[in-house]
């Protein structure tokens, strides 16, 4: 059955059915092949997507800007601090007005728990064009879809029984968002994977996302568990995904979170840790990785690392979502679903 996604928001992967996600993954693979063979794929000629960033970005910004260009459209980069948002312009006004200017609104708002996802939904409430989550406090749906694509390229489409270790890792740079590990535990459990989450006691994830991961695992024949050591998570894993994140209650006081994190400097993905996983296990990270803290050079630059194919897939999944949702609405009778 054909899946029609024109006009749809993409704020969390949970809001898309598995059939809809499969449609996106199938198109991403097709667009990847076309790019590799230099076959034009201008599916969004003259379309415009507005890219609002409340936080810094490398892969997300460039995957959107390059992606919309390759699809024949144009991306407008907007630093939120230089826009009227900084002066208090409402999400309602932005959603309505930009809907009359272009064809998609993408937002990154990820550093304050309780704010980013709510803000995006308020914009989407009034927008008549798709709203995309380029990372919020709850989920990073473009990243985790690319992660899923990468894992399936390596292990095949059937991931039931495969174990993924989603582990906290030490980083001294800044208190990173919780959205990537939360996005991973809620998406990979939908595909029947055995998901093991590991973190020190202070670095818990949002309770509702933990409950969602449990529910998804129960409904899809997977497994979800929480352990208190990286070693326990890595044991017999097929995929390891160690990265840092902050303390939910301390995002307004990052110095305190970093001071607590310094107690766990041994939470690093090194060759000893990789030896606990399966021999053919792969290492993944959304990047940028804090080398020498989250991971050693020997691992991230080693033969088990998939970080560069993973990063490349950000482009292809981004293009697929835009192409599926930003097409001409006159060609369909579908309506934007909230």
In a domain, 337, yes or no: no
Q: Are the CB atoms for 122 and 94 separated by under 8 Å?
A: no
Task: Show the tokens assigned to 31.
Answer: 């667009």
Tell whether 129 and 153 lie within a shared domain: no
CB 245 within 8 A of CB 180: yes
Residues 233 and 266 both lie in one domain = yes
Note whether 102 and 149 are same-domain residues.
no
In a shared domain, residues 269 and 307: yes
If asked whether residues 81 and 150 sit together in one domain, one would say no
Domain count, the chain: 2
Go through the chain and tell me how many residues it has. 338
Global confidence as pTM:
0.95
Contact 59, 314 (CB under 8 A): yes
Q: Find all residues with CB under 8 Å of 71, minimum gap 6, and list them.
A: 41, 42, 43, 44, 45, 47, 319, 322, 323
Q: Is residue 1 part of a domain?
A: no
In a domain, 224, yes or no: yes
Residue 331 DSSP class: G
Q: Where are the beta strands (DSSP E) in 205-336?
A: 223-227, 239-243, 282-283
Residue 238 contacts residue 290 (beta carbons within 8 Å): no
Q: Is 106 a member of any domain?
A: yes
CA 115/CA 208 separation, integer angstroms: 15
Same domain, 322 and 292: no
Check whether residue 151 and residue 77 sit in a common domain. Answer: no
Could you tell me the residue range of the domain that residue 180 belongs to? 143-311
User: Are residue 207 and residue 302 in the same domain, yes or no?
Assistant: yes
132 and 159 belong to one structural domain: no
282 near 303, Cβ under 8 Å? Answer: no
Q: Please check whether residues 132 and 148 belong to one and the same domain.
A: no
Is 4 among the domain residues? no
- Exposed / middle / buried, residue 156 (Cβ in 10 Å: 0-12, 13-18, 19+): exposed
Same domain, 208 and 173: yes
pLDDT in tens, the chain (338 residues): 468 999 999 999 999 999 999 999 999 999 999 999 999 999 999 999 999 999 999 999 999 999 999 999 999 999 999 999 999 999 999 999 999 999 999 999 998 999 999 999 999 999 999 999 999 999 999 999 999 999 999 999 999 999 999 999 999 998 899 999 999 999 999 999 999 999 999 999 999 999 999 999 999 999 999 999 999 999 999 999 999 999 999 998 999 999 999 999 999 999 999 999 999 999 999 999 999 999 999 999 999 999 999 999 999 999 999 999 999 865 433 445 44
User: CATH code at 36?
Assistant: 3.40.50.1370
- Alpha-carbon distance 223 to 195, whole Å? 6
């Amino acid at each position: 059955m054909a899946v029609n996604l024109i006009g749809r928001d993409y704020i969390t992967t949970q809001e898309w059915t598995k059939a809809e996600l499969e449609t996106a993954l199938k198109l991403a693979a097709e667009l990847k092949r076309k790019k590799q063979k230099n076959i034009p794929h201008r599916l969004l000629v003259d379309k415009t997507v507005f890219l609002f960033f409340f936080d810094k970005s490398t892969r997300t910004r460039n995957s959107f800007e390059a992606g919309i260009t390759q699809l024949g459209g144009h991306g407008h980069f907007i630093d939120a601090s230089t826009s009227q948002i900084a002066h208090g312009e409402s999400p309602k006004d932005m959603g309505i007005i930009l809907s009359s200017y272009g064809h998609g609104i993408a937002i990154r708002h990820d550093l304050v728990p309780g704010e980013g996802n709510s803000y995006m939904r308020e914009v989407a409430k009034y927008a008549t064009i798709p709203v995309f989550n380029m990372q919020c406090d709850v989920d990073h749906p473009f990243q985790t879809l690319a992660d899923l694509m990468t894992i399936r390229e390596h292990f095949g489409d059937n991931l039931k029984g495969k174990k993924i270790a989603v582990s906290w890792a030490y980083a001294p740079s800044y208190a990173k968002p919780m959205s990537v590990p939360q996005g991973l535990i809620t998406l990979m459990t939908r595909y029947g994977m055995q998901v093991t989450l590991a973190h020190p006691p202070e670095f818990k994830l949002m309770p509702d996302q933990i409950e969602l991961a449990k529910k998804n695992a129960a409904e899809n024949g997977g497994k979800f568990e929480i352990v208190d050591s990286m070693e326990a998570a890595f044991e017999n894993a097929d995929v390891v995904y160690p990265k840092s994140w902050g303390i939910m209650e301390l995002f307004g006081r990052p110095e305190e979170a970093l001071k607590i994190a310094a107690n766990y400097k041994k939470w690093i993905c090194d060759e000893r840790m990789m030896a606990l996983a399966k021999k053919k296990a792969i290492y993944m990270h959304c990047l940028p990785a804090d080398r020498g803290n989250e991971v050693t050079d020997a691992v991230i630059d080693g033969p088990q690392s998939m970080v560069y194919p993973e990063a490349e897939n950000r482009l292809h999944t981004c293009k697929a979502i835009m192409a599926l949702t930003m097409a001409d609405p006159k060609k369909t009778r579908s309506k934007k679903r909230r």
